Amino acid sequence: MSLVRLCHVGDIPEHSGVAALVAGRQLALFNLPGLGFFALDNWDPIGRAQVLARGIVGDLKGEPCVASPLYKHHYSLKDGRCLEQEGVRVRVWPLITQQDQLWLEAASLKE
């Protein structure tokens, strides 16, 4: 399995997100202490902009999520679905944590 290194776990401040450009695609990486690291597409399909990494993270009824800075829609960090608008979702990227680094499976970038 070939892996693509994203960053050191310490590069993502707790309770917030950073954007990463991976193989030409913008991802939003989040660090929620106690829950772990999450990766979504940075693209907000409702606001139509690459902004999710700048959103506020928290939870809604126990679901860890990010609120888009544009229209404040919430996207689940677990499965990417929009919690206000049925049928809207963003892609979730499974992360691998190894040696304090975050990685993605290279094959997933080709899908």
Residues forming contacts to ligand FES in the complex (CB under 6 A) are 51, 54, 69
Residue 89 C-beta: closest distance to ligand FES, Å: 20
With respect to ligand FES, which residue has the nearer C-beta, 7 or 69? 69
Q: Please report, as a single letter, which amino acid is at residue 106.
A: A
DSSP for 21-63, written as a single string = EETTEEEEEEEETTTEEEEEESEETTTTEE-GGGSEEEEETTE
How far apart CA 78 and CA 70 sit, in angstroms, is 21
Nearest CB to ligand FES, comparing residues 19 and 88: 19
CB nearer ligand FES, residue 39 or residue 51: 51
Q: How far is the CB of 51 from ligand FES (least distance, A)?
A: 4
CB-based contacts of 64, cutoff 8 Å, min separation 6: 32, 35, 38, 57, 58, 76, 77, 78
Nearest-approach distance from CB 38 to ligand FES, in angstroms: 18
Least separation in angstroms between residue 15's CB and ligand FES is: 17
Q: Which is nearer to ligand FES, 54 or 81 (CB)?
A: 54
Task: Compute how many other C-beta atoms are within 10 angstroms of the C-beta atom of residue 45.
Answer: 16
